[in-house]
Structure 1
Amino acid sequence: MHPMVKPALRQAWRDLRSVQFGVTAAHAVVMGPVDTATGSLLSLFDGTRGLPRLREEARAIGLPDGHVDALLERLGEAGLVDDVTGGGPAALALRKRKEAYDRLRPDLASLSVVHAEPGGGAARLAARGAMRVQVRGAGRVGAALAAVLSASGVGRVDVLDGGRVEPWDVTPGGLPAEAVGERRAVSAQQLVLRSAPGSGRRAARRPDGVPPQRPPLSLVIVAPRDGFPAYAPDPLAAEGWMATGTPHLYTGVVEASAVVGPLVLPGGSACAGCLALGRAELDPVWPRMAAQWRTPHRREANPGPCDLGLATAVAGMAASHALSFLDGALPASTGARWEVSLPLLEWRSRRIPAHPDCPCGAAGQNRGECLSGPGAPHDTMAGAAAPAEQFRTAAAARQLGIGGAHV
């Protein structure tokens, strides 16, 4: 192990005996009391030394045996220490791909803040490389979303759509102007490859020349060019994913309003059927109108309303929710929907309860329970027990916006 105080968190001395790690309320931690010698030892936790050398240098500055290990345990309990060699074999392989690793270093820094355990960020970043996500839709939202997922290290991003690229499909970070007239699916897949860190490497063929087997789908994201199927998803279209237990997330823009969610965990959280049944209870004529809006009909050549700024924002938010799920968390879109509309752009969340009449079974699964992930704050850098003498500063620290623990 080569321990390192997480560099993603800014450090500042609050006074002569206490150090604050982190600025934001979600992740700030105050450590104290810290004497001068321990402060000097902290500066050596930079990832360039293993534990034997750190113990030697601690003795050289007059610290007793066991001080390094005690300090390391204290930092670890607060989620402040990382291991530059941690994360397992996959993380080691990623570090050796220098071009890809350098591209992903900001993502790694972010993951190191969110996940407390040493090497946890590297392990999750490397794990993305073995995952496969399918994005259904290559319009202003879907294409940009697929590019972000690919650039974030997801190993395989498949984009499904029909037709050819229209001028209004072109966006910064999405389909380029030179793609107009090309098949949407092909252009979107080329965008995914260009966006991937490490020159968009594909998995190598097996020694017998047979292409490697595709990994199973980790997530399906429904991001149609016409956002209505994301706003009012058809339960029939999701039957295959429900049958195979494939998680899926709805997102899109319709009539200058954007949605992210729900993220559906088949049998565990509310699905498209639950959403439809709940809406019909509130508005009995909704099924009749939805059926009319879903019926194929001749459209005008002009595109529907989809503001570029709004489409970019919703693509980014949906990508963040998807990555959070792929990294092992339950984002706030699980069994819920986030909505925003022009011109006020005020995000609002609405829980979607599992419906007892829906055959998905989520209502029975969740009766008397609550999904812990969505909407709940993460105790990322907090959780260490504070000595009694430090509790007197806790209330003042909370007033200053320090949300983490005192250690």
Structure 2
Amino acid sequence: MHPMMKPALRRGWRDLNTVQFGMAPAHAMVLGPVDTATGSFLPLLDGTRGLPLLREEARRTGLPDGHVDALVESLSGAGLLDDATGGGPGAEALRAKAAVMDRLRPDLASLSLVARGPGEPVRRLAARRSSRVQIRGAGRVGVVLASLLAGAGVGEVEVRDTGRVEPWDVAPGGLPADSVGERREEAARRAVRAAAPDRPPRRQRASRRTRHADLPFSLVILAPRDGVDVHAPDPFAAEPLIAGGTPHLYSGVAEGTGIVGPFVLPGDTGCAGCLDRGRAERDETWPRLVAQWRSGRPPRVQACDLALASAVAGVTAGHALAFLDGDTPSSAGARWEASVPRLDWHARPVWAHPACGCGAAEKGKEEHIPEDGAGHETMAERRPSENLSSTTHAARLSGTWRAHV
């Protein structure tokens, strides 16, 4: 192990014996008291030294035996320490690609804020390379979203759509202006390749007859260009995903409203069928309206504010990456919406419906999200007061996760 203080968190001394790690309230932590000798030793935890060398350095500076090991254990438990050589074989292979690693260092630093264990951030980053994501829709949202996921290290990002690129499909970070007139899928494929820091990993097939297209997707994102399909997603289109147990996420722009969600975990959270049935129960005219919207001729150019579409793509990418990294995004069982011009994001719950065949209602595990989407203030979590002192042979911390620092 080569201990390293997580570089994502800026360090500052509040006084002679209290150090603050991080600036923003979401991840900032205050430790104290920290004696002078221990504070002077912290810069040596930079990932260039293993534990044996750190113990020698500690003895030279007068720290007692066992102090380094206790310090490393305490800082690791607080989520402040990483391992510059950890993460397993996948992480080692990623570190061997210096140019790729340099592209992904900001993402690795961000992962270190949520992956607490030493070596866990780079392990999660390396695991993204084994993920396969399919995006259905190559419009202003879909291609920007695909580029974001590829740029964040997702191994394979496939974009599916029909037709050819129109001038109004062009977006910064998505389809370029010189792709107008080309097949949407081909143009999107080039955009994804340009955004990716590395080539997709080679797949080892179980047999020669196994086709690449038959390999399962880690996640499918439905980002249609038609606003009707965004506002009222068709439950039948997702039936194969439900039957196959494939997690999927809805995303797009309907008129002047951006929508992210629901994130569907088949059998666990509400799906498009649950959403449709719930709407029909609350509004008896809903099926009639949907039938008219679907049967009518759509406008040749639909409303899709560029800033709103980019925001939707970014939020969707964040929710997708949270899932791929092992967390449950807040769009599971909910739809996040924001409308121009204020872009005030709020959540609407998508309850599992007992009449839906997805089976989510039977488990009763859906999360209850307030109708108004109001957030809850984070309370500061106080930890027991302990001491980071060279006079004791155990380096202990006194920390507070603060809502405001």
- TM-score above 0.5: yes
In structure 1, the residue corresponding to 2:113 is in which secondary structure? helix
1:37 and 2:37 equivalent?
yes
CA distance in 1, matches of 2:57, 2:209: 54
1:211–1:91: structure 2 CA closer, same or farther, 3 Å change rule? farther
Q: Given that residues 132 and 156 in structure 1 are in contact (C-alpha distance below 8 angstroms), is that contact kept between their aligned partners in structure 2?
A: yes
Give the counterpart of 1:352 among 325, 339, 350: 350
Give deviations 1:292-317, integer Å, cap 9, x for gaps. Answer: 2123x5444x3100010100111011
Give deviations 1:4-27, integer Å, cap 9, x for gaps. Answer: 010110000010001000111111
CA distance in 2, matches of 1:213, 1:189: 16
CA distance in 1, matches of 2:49, 2:384: 28
Q: TM-score, normalised by structure 1?
A: 0.90
After TM superposition, list the pairs within 5 Å mapping 1:3-402 onto structure 2: 3-198=3-198, 200-201=199-200, 203=202, 213=212, 215-295=215-295, 297-300=296-299, 302-366=300-364, 370=367, 385-387=383-385, 398=402, 401-402=404-405
CA distance in 1, matches of 2:77, 2:225: 46
Q: Given that residues 205 and 211 in structure 1 are in contact (C-alpha distance below 8 angstroms), is that contact kept between their aligned partners in structure 2?
A: no
Give deviations 1:115-153, integer Å, cap 9, x for gaps. Answer: 111111101110000000000000000010001011111
CA distance in 1, matches of 2:275, 2:38: 56
1:54–1:321: structure 2 CA closer, same or farther, 3 Å change rule? same
1:166–1:80: structure 2 CA closer, same or farther, 3 Å change rule? same
1:35–1:394: structure 2 CA closer, same or farther, 3 Å change rule? closer
Aligned length: 391
Q: TM-score, normalised by structure 2?
A: 0.90
In structure 2, the residue corresponding to 1:338 is in which secondary structure? strand
CA distance in 1, matches of 2:105, 2:368: 31
Q: Given that residues 78 and 383 in structure 1 are in contact (C-alpha distance below 8 angstroms), is that contact kept between their aligned partners in structure 2?
A: no
Structure 1 position 287, deviation (Å): 1.1
Paired amino acid for 2:242: M
1:205–1:246: structure 2 CA closer, same or farther, 3 Å change rule? closer
Structure 1 position 385, deviation (Å): 4.0
Runs of 4+ aligned structure 1 residues displaced above 3 Å come to 208-215, 297-300, 369-372, 374-377, 382-385
Q: Given that residues 227 and 251 in structure 1 are in contact (C-alpha distance below 8 angstroms), is that contact kept between their aligned partners in structure 2?
A: no
1:384–1:6: structure 2 CA closer, same or farther, 3 Å change rule? farther
Q: Given that residues 205 and 212 in structure 1 are in contact (C-alpha distance below 8 angstroms), is that contact kept between their aligned partners in structure 2?
A: no
* 1:405 equivalent in structure 2: none
Say what the alpha-carbon RMSD is for the aligned residues: 2.7
In structure 2, the residue corresponding to 1:139 is in which secondary structure? coil
CA distance in 2, matches of 1:93, 1:65: 35
Paired amino acid for 2:247: P
In structure 1, the residue corresponding to 2:20 is in which secondary structure? strand
1:299–1:364: structure 2 CA closer, same or farther, 3 Å change rule? closer
Q: Given that residues 80 and 116 in structure 2 are in contact (C-alpha distance below 8 angstroms), is that contact kept between their aligned partners in structure 1?
A: yes
Range 71-80 or range 222-231, more displaced: 222-231
In structure 2, the residue corresponding to 1:43 is in which secondary structure? helix
CA distance in 1, matches of 2:2, 2:227: 48
Structure 1 position 340, deviation (Å): 0.5
Q: Given that residues 231 and 251 in structure 1 are in contact (C-alpha distance below 8 angstroms), is that contact kept between their aligned partners in structure 2?
A: no
1:202–1:58: structure 2 CA closer, same or farther, 3 Å change rule? closer
